[in-house]
Amino acid sequence: MSGLALIGSLLGRAGRAFWNSVAWTAQSWRIILVSFVVGDVLLITDHEAAGIAVLLLVPVWNTVRAIWEAVSPLTYEAALGGPLRRRAWRRRVRKEWGRVAERCGLAWPWENDKRQRFPQLLKVRTSGNTLTLRVRAVVGQTVDDLVDAAEAIATAFDAESVDSRRIGPGVVEIVLTMRELLHEPSTPPFPDEIETEAVTLGRRSDGSPWRLELAGRHTLVVGRSGAGKGSIFWGIAGNLSPAASAGLVRLWGIDLKGGVEVAVGARMFSSVAMDERAALELLNSLHRVIGERQAAMRGRTRQFEPSEGDPAHVLLIDELAVLTGYASRDVVNEATTLLKRILTQGRALGVMVVAFVQDPRKETVGMRELFTQTIALRLASTSETRMVLGDGYGDLAPAHRIDRTMPGVGYVVRNDGEVERVRADYWPDDVLRLVAGTYPAPVDPGADEEPDEPETDVDEQVGELVSIVAPPPDRQRSPRAPREPEDPEAA
């Protein structure tokens, strides 16, 4: 760091400490008044040291807090700032609940009385950056009334976002995210654990890790261009790469956009298809794996467990609509048939599909209902949100309201129906190349050896691929001998 940058950083921290000290002291005016009274009494009774200490207690304490926050914000947040903030949230809710409930349309009049009843606030608790309210509806109200008012309650308490769920008869839990932790992008740690059933893709809105279950599930990721689908694509491939290198997972990839996405980390994959014919060959190969595994498991077990030599198979398809909607008619028909068979038969056999698409309409994703879990990144409209997540989630998981400046942010509906707001980590190209070089997919001993061919531009960029499903090269024809001119007299 240069001298000017260091001086600027120190001045900025000093200014922030001064401002926080003044602001916190002004907010403590009630305590200051009490300390002035007590301090004056002590001074009058000739207890000068104690009186001065009481008078200076609040300003000195706030100054120490401000300096601590400026010098080490992480330790301050964990030890003092976070607990104080959460305590203030709880106090505000308990103090203002009646007024907020009335303004949000939850007040219920007594019979023959001007008094009003409000939903009962059963419990208030805080954790991290979330504030959770457990509320019981009064007689005459329904759970839907409380759920419909959740957005207004969040606005009244200055929350960034809100989730609500029914937990019992007439009881609703409203989770307010008071501080947004997903604004800033993050990069993942270098993968070093062998994982086959779930991967950590990023973080939830409360700051906790976001784990995506893969075993026994097919996943559909939907988002507009620039919504961050690549972060999830490489989050899955990158975190599975140690298991793939160890022979417990085999990664298959289809990228019909010329291989632009998959080429950077192609060495993680055992098989990659970059055009229509290669994609069909890859799907046929994966379908044969399902058939062989069915024969091996029939009568022995119903649940597959990956092992060395018998890995789990994960197929990643970048832009599914290119394969199932925009390709030639023959390719679309055959690819759709193969994918439907893989989706319906492969889940219990250790064959999982993760597909990415921009347009969630039935015309482009005809097998949408065969995916067992869906992730909604930034979408264009409420109707698209309902297409992706289901009816009723247009307001609970407003993917169409995600800001364009927050790629990787999306909504996930868990198995219990709860909605999670998440953000996937961003994988830079340099990290992908490093991971691919560290954990290359093993060479398949059963693969047929191909004759040596000159390297292509893609090979020069990403190195030698382990196994690329590609169309056979066109056979070169020998030139014909020139025909002799016809003799007019012989004719």
pLDDT in tens, the chain (491 residues): 456 777 877 888 888 888 888 888 888 888 889 888 998 888 888 888 888 898 888 889 989 988 988 888 778 877 888 898 899 999 999 999 999 998 998 887 766 666 778 899 999 999 878 899 999 998 888 898 998 899 899 999 999 878 888 888 899 999 898 887 788 888 999 999 999 899 999 998 877 899 999 998 999 999 999 999 999 999 999 999 999 999 999 999 999 888 888 999 999 999 999 999 999 999 999 999 999 998 888 888 777 888 888 899 999 999 898 888 888 889 889 999 999 999 999 888 899 999 999 988 766 677 888 898 999 999 988 888 888 888 777 777 888 888 888 999 999 987 767 778 899 999 999 999 999 999 999 875 444 444 344 344 434 433 433 344 444 444 444 444 444 444 444 43
Q: Where is the domain boundary, 71, 99, 114?
A: 71
All residues at 6 or more sequence positions from 290 whose CB lies less than 8 Å from its CB, including other chains: 341, 342, 345, 346, 349, 351
Assess if residue 192 is contained within a domain: no
Alpha-carbon Rg for the chain in angstroms: 31
Which residues carry a binding-site annotation for ATP?
223-230
215 shares a domain with 119: no
What pTM was estimated for this model as a whole?
0.69
β strands within 390-450, DSSP E? 409-413, 419-424
Q: Strands, E, within 84-237: which ranges?
A: 108-109, 116-117, 120-127, 130-136, 161-168, 171-177, 198-204, 209-213, 219-222
What is the domain extent for residue 61?
Answer: 16-71
Q: Is residue 276 part of a domain?
A: yes
Is position 45 within any domain? Answer: yes
148 within some domain: yes
Residue 29 lies in a domain: yes
370 part of a folded domain? yes
**Rounded to 10 degrees, what is the CA torsion of 451, 453, 456, 460?**
80
Based on the domain organization, do 67 and 94 belong to the same domain? no
The H-or-E segment that residue 15 falls in is: helix 3-27
Find, among 180, 185, 203, 232, the residue nearest to 405 by Cα.
185
Same domain, 300 and 373: yes
Same-domain check for residues 312 and 435: yes
Residues 259 and 302 occupy one common structural domain? yes
Decide: residue 211, CB within 10 A, 0-12 exposed, 13-18 middle, 19+ buried: middle
The order of strands in the sheet holding 419-424 is 209-213, 198-204, 419-424, 409-413, 373-376, 219-222, 351-357, 312-318, 249-255, 271-273
Do 210 and 105 sit in the same domain of this protein? no
- Note whether residue 209 is domain-resident: yes
List, in order, residues 6 or more apart from 24 with CB less than 8 Å away: 62, 65, 66
Same domain for 164 and 204, yes or no, is no
Tell me whether residue 5 is in a domain: no
Q: What does the alpha-carbon distance between residue 406 and residue 390 come to, in Å, rounded to a whole number?
A: 23
Select from 118, 148, 177 the last residue of a domain.
177
- The answer to whether residues 221 and 313 belong to one domain is yes
Number of domains in the chain: 3
Q: Which residues are annotated as a binding site?
A: 223-230
